[in-house]
Amino acid sequence: MSLKKFKPTTPGQRHKLISDYAEITSSKPEKSLISSHKKSGGRNNSGRMTMRYLGGGHKQKYRVIDFKRDKEGVPATVKSIEYDPNRTANIALLYYKDGEKRYIIAPENLAVGDTVVSGKDATPKTGNAMYIADIPLGTVVHNVELTPGKGGIIARGAGTSAQLIAREGKYGILKMPSGEVRMVLIGCLATIGSVSNHNHSLSISGKAGRTRWLGRRPRVRGVVMNPIDHPMGGGEGRHAGGHPRSRNGIPAKGYKTRSPKKYSDKFIIEKRKK
């Protein structure tokens, strides 16, 4: 999927750079796989704002995605590649041989008409879900489980992927998108290939209005607030605001917030790159 540049006929078009959506084959979602998606606008059950800079945006329907890929041994045909407003990656609609329909995250180079399968009998082909015990070393994967049967939670964003680099006993060693190297149980499922829409991070909205359509309101910098509103606020004229920190006073830019006794430390072989 490539990026589309526009002629500067308006100020908003001048720097606009978005996907050309060439891979998208259907504009209407499967009705049986959508549910309502009510927006909160950042308010809790008593109406108080608990998350700032959220609100508005276009109405959306939630597409129910199959992250578990637990329909083992049943081949499925890719019916369409669709846009999903709830995530950066594209999604693929599968028609299983027994008649069931499911959405999955679409990997790069998956096309309409392709056949995918999951389980022990699957081969290392794009879109197939396999156990880490059976995946050849060096293979690029996405939608990786951390707990067997719970569903994939690693490498689900546009263009991301992990790589299986080794196996030791009951663990596979994966290099994560962040650069972290960690152990994952070989009984976990992972899908072959990298996630689609890899150019997503290069897109430029072109105007503030496009960001508002996505439900994001303007973000206010701490240094322009009053001292009562932010630790970096106040002062006459333009002031740097002292040490960078969050609204709650937690330092930023180098301050470590990870717990020194986190349960997952024993699975991490090499920490992510700074």
Which structural domains are found in the chain, ordered by start?
Answer: 3-43+53-201 (2.40.50.140), 221-260 (4.10.950.10)
Query: In this predicted model, what pLDDT tens digit does every residue of 92-147 receive, in sequence order?
Result: 999 999 999 999 999 999 999 999 999 999 999 999 999 999 999 999 999 999 99
pTM: predicted TM-score of the whole model, two decimal places: 0.91
Calculate the average pLDDT of the chain: 94
Q: What pLDDT, on the 0 to 100 scale, is given for residue 245?
A: 93
Which amino acid is located at 236 in the chain? Answer: E
pLDDT (tens digit per residue) in 22-66 = 999 999 999 999 999 999 999 999 999 999 999 999 999 999 999
CA distances from 238 to 222, 233, 247, 270 (A): 12, 10, 19, 42
Q: What is the pLDDT of residue 274?
A: 67
pLDDT level of residue 2 (50, 70, 90 thresholds): confident
Residue corresponding to tokens 């959405």 = 103
User: Percent of the chain at pLDDT above 70?
Assistant: 99
Which run of H or of E encompasses 209? helix 208-213
Q: Residue 241 has what pLDDT?
A: 78
**Measuring CA to CA, how many Å separate 49 from each of 46, 54, 156, 218, 247?**
9, 9, 29, 15, 15
d(CA 185, CA 94): 27
pLDDT band at 237, cuts 50/70/90?
confident
Burial class (CB in 10 A: 0-12, 13-18, 19+), 162: buried
- Say whether pLDDT at 148 is over 90: yes
Closest CA to 24 of 8, 4, 48, 50: 4
- Nearest in space to 260 (alpha carbons), one of 252, 248, 249, 268: 268
State phi, psi for 265 to the nearest 5 degrees. -60, -35
Work out the pLDDT band at 272, boundaries 50, 70, 90.
Answer: confident
For residue 134, the model assigns a pLDDT of: 95
- Check pLDDT > 90 for residue 268: yes
CB 211 within 8 A of CB 168: no
What would the two tokens of residue 146 be?
């951390």
Mind giving me the DSSP string for 83-117? Answer: --TTSSS-EEEEEETTS-EEEEEPBTT--TT-EE-
In percent, how much of the chain has pLDDT > 90? 93
Alpha carbon 225 to its chain centroid, in Å, reads 32
Two structure tokens written together for 232: 């970096």
Residues in the chain: 274
Q: What is the pLDDT of residue 238?
A: 84
**Does residue 1 have a pLDDT over 80?**
no
d(CA 200, CA 115): 26
